[in-house]
Structure 1
C-alpha cells in the first residue's frame, strides 16, 4: 500500500479572484468573503485526486477532519484515516499539528493544497522527514514544492504508483510579506528546503527573481503594444514588470501585482478583480482584451498572480483576446517547456492549449505552444 499524507488549506487562494493578493489572516479572509470570494482549494485538490481514482486499492490517506481533507476523501471514496480533528475555522496551527501527526504515521508522500503560507506551515512540521508535493491553490506560489497544476500533481503520484523512476530534489520553501505585496513590493524570503518528487514537466521551478532582461527590450515591447491599441477596445493590463512597462509607456499609474483597466489610453480603474471584469465584459462584449505576461522560470500565463482572470472571465474574453508579451530571454529560460494555462476549469485549460502568439519586441513576435498539463 502507498501511504499518502493529505491536507487542504480551505482558505488558500480566496483572495485571488477578488484582488486581495493573499489570504493570510482573519481580517483578509473576512474581506475576501465580503467581496464574494468562494473557497477553491478543495476543487483544486479534487482535480489531483481524480487522477488517482483508478489506484484506490493501492492508497491509504492520512488526513485531517472536515474541510482539511476528510470531506473530499470521503466524497471520492478513498480509503483514509483521520489523524487530526479541529473545531471551527481551521488555522495555520491546525495545519502544523495535523502535519506532525502525519509525519508520525511515516507516510510515503505528503500531498497538500495551499499557497506559500501553507508550504511554510508544512515545512515547520515536516522539514526533510518525508517527501512533499504541493497542489497549487494559493494566490502566492513562489515555492518550488508545487506541481505546475493540480492535474500535474496527480500525474507525478501516478508515476510513483506505476513504479516509474521519479527523482527526489531539494527545493526551496519561499514566502513573501503580504502587506508589502499589496503595495507592489515583492520581498521573497527562503525559509528552508523540502524533498519533492521531481518530474520537470510537472513540478515548477522556484520563481525567478531580479531583472531577467535588458530594460530596452521590455520598453520595445511596451511601445509596440501601446502603438497597436485601438480606441474602441478596453484593455486589462496584467501584473508583472513587463506589463508595468506598458503602463509606464502610457504614462499611467500601475498596479504592479494587480490588473488595471485602460480605455483610450486613459486609466479607468486600478486593481480590478473578477466581479469588475465580468461587468465590463457584459457591458462591452467583444471589446475587451487582456495584456498578460509569462512568470519567469515557470511558464504560467494564467493562474499565477492573475486569478482575477478566472475561468468564467476567460470563457467570455476568449483566447483570441489575450495579448501575451515576453522577451525571448524569458521564453528561452523555459528550456522548451510549454506555456501553462492553469484555471480551475480543466476543459478550458485544454481549449486554450496550442500555439499562441507572443510579442517579443517591436514588430517582433513568435508562436509558442501552450501545453495541455
Structure 2
C-alpha cells in the first residue's frame, strides 16, 4: 500500500516580501517583484518539507503539476512522481485550483501545498472537505490555520501518516487580508472557509486514564457525534461491534451485536439483515454505512460482517463509509493498517488508502486501510 501524496507549489508565493510589496497576489505584483530582484523561494521551502520524507520514498508516490508547480522538486529528490496537470511557465491562481481538482479526482490521501494565504484560498475554493490538506509556509501572509509552523514540521506530519501513527484531523480556518488595503496601512482579515488539516495527535484525558469508565465516555462522545451528523433522509447500515452498539444505545434502539441492522430517522427499518435484504432495502436509497474494526487484526470488512457484500459496498460507495473507533483500539494495532477482506480483490484495492476515523465528538484521525495479500 502506497501513500498517495498530492503536491502543489505556488512558484511565486512570497515573492513580494523581500522587496516590500507586502504580498504576491496577482500576476502584476509577481512581475513587479521579479523586476525588483525578488527570487522565488517556495520550491526551496517545499524541498525542506520533502527532505523529511526521502527515507520513505518506497512507501509513497507523489502526484503533482508540471515544472515549478511540483514536478521539478519532487523528481530532483528522487520521488516516484506522476504529473497529473500541465501548466505554462507563468502560473496563475487558476492553475492552483485546476491542479487541486485533478488531485481530488486522483484520490490522493493528502494535499501538501506551498504558498501563502492566497494559495490557501485557492485550494479551499476547490477542496473544501474532500481531502485533508497541509500547507508549507512560503508566502508573505500566513494568517490561515492550515499551515505547519515550519516546512520541516509539515514534512514530519506527513511522515507520521506514512508510518501509521495516529494523526488527528482538525478543522482549520482559511484567512486572508486585503493586500491593497494592507499596502495602504490597513489590515482587513477575512475568513474564507475551513479545511481539514492533520496535526500531531493530542490524546484527551479520558483516553489517557484508561479503564472501563473512560472508555465509556469516549464511546458516548463517538455516538453523540455520529448521531448529530445523521440525515433523516439517509438510511444507515449499522455494522457489528461494540463501538457501533454504543451509537444504537444512544439512539435508544435495539442492537444486533453480532449482526447488521438498518435505521433511518432514528428508527429501525430492519434487524439482523442478510446480504440480500440489505441490497433490496438500500437500492436507489441514499445510504451510509457505520462500521468499526472487528478483532485484534483490525478488520473492517471480512470478520463478523459478511452480510456487507462487495456488491453492497460498491452500491454505497467508499465516500459513504463511516468508520468509528476509540484511539485506544487503533493504538492496539501498533501501526498495522485496518484490513479490508471483502472477498473481492479489486474492491479491496479500491478501499485501500487512508480513511477518516471518528474517534470522539468532532474528533477524527487519519488511518491506513490495507488488505491481506
TM bin, normalised by shorter chain, reads 0.5 to 0.7
* Correspondence for 2:155: 154
The total of aligned residue pairs comes to 201
CA distance in 2, matches of 1:200, 1:79: 28
- Whether the aligned pair in 1 keeps the contact of 2:97 and 2:122 (CA below 8 Å) is yes
* Correspondence for 1:106: 107
* Correspondence for 1:196: 197
Offset at 1:34? 1.7
SS at 1:142 equivalent: coil
* Correspondence for 2:277: none
SS at 1:196 equivalent: strand
* Correspondence for 2:126: 125
Offset at 1:26? 1.9
- Whether the aligned pair in 1 keeps the contact of 2:133 and 2:198 (CA below 8 Å) is yes
* Correspondence for 1:208: none
- Whether the aligned pair in 1 keeps the contact of 2:129 and 2:196 (CA below 8 Å) is yes
When the two chains are superposed, the root-mean-square deviation of aligned CA atoms in Å is 1.2
* Correspondence for 2:56: 55
Offset at 1:177? 0.4
Call closer, same or farther: CA 1:40–1:200 in 2, change over 3 Å: farther
* Correspondence for 1:365: none
* Correspondence for 1:277: none
CA distance in 2, matches of 1:158, 1:198: 11
- Whether the aligned pair in 1 keeps the contact of 2:27 and 2:92 (CA below 8 Å) is no
CA distance in 2, matches of 1:200, 1:57: 25
Query: 1:115-148: per-residue Cα shift (whole Å, max 9, x none)?
Result: 0000011111111001000000000001000000
Query: 1:295-321: per-residue Cα shift (whole Å, max 9, x none)?
Result: xxxxxxxxxxxxxxxxxxxxxxxxxxx
SS at 1:185 equivalent: coil
SS at 2:53 equivalent: helix
- Listed as ranges, the matches of 1:5-24 within 5 Å are 5-24=6-25
Query: 1:47-89: per-residue Cα shift (whole Å, max 9, x none)?
Result: 0000000000011111000100001111111011100001230
Offset at 1:185? 1.2
Q: Does 1:169 align with 2:134?
A: no
CA distance in 1, matches of 2:23, 2:41: 13
Offset at 1:159? 1.2
Query: 1:123-182: per-residue Cα shift (whole Å, max 9, x none)?
Result: 111110010000000000010000000010011111111211110000001111000111
Offset at 1:200? 7.8
Structure 2 unpaired stretches of 5+ = 203-373
* Correspondence for 2:66: 65
Normalised TM-score (structure 1)? 0.53
Q: Does 1:91 align with 2:61?
A: no
Q: Does 1:4 align with 2:5?
A: yes
CA distance in 2, matches of 1:123, 1:56: 28
Structure 1 unpaired stretches of 5+ = 202-373
- Listed as ranges, the matches of 1:208-227 within 5 Å are none
* Correspondence for 2:30: 29
- Whether the aligned pair in 1 keeps the contact of 2:167 and 2:201 (CA below 8 Å) is no
Offset at 1:199? 2.3
Query: 1:210-254: per-residue Cα shift (whole Å, max 9, x none)?
Result: xxxxxxxxxxxxxxxxxxxxxxxxxxxxxxxxxxxxxxxxxxxxx
* Correspondence for 1:324: none
CA distance in 2, matches of 1:129, 1:8: 19
* Correspondence for 1:134: 135
Normalised TM-score (structure 2)? 0.53
Q: Does 1:181 align with 2:168?
A: no
| Structure 1 residue ranges (4+ consecutive) displaced by more than 6 angstroms after TM superposition | none
SS at 2:97 equivalent: helix
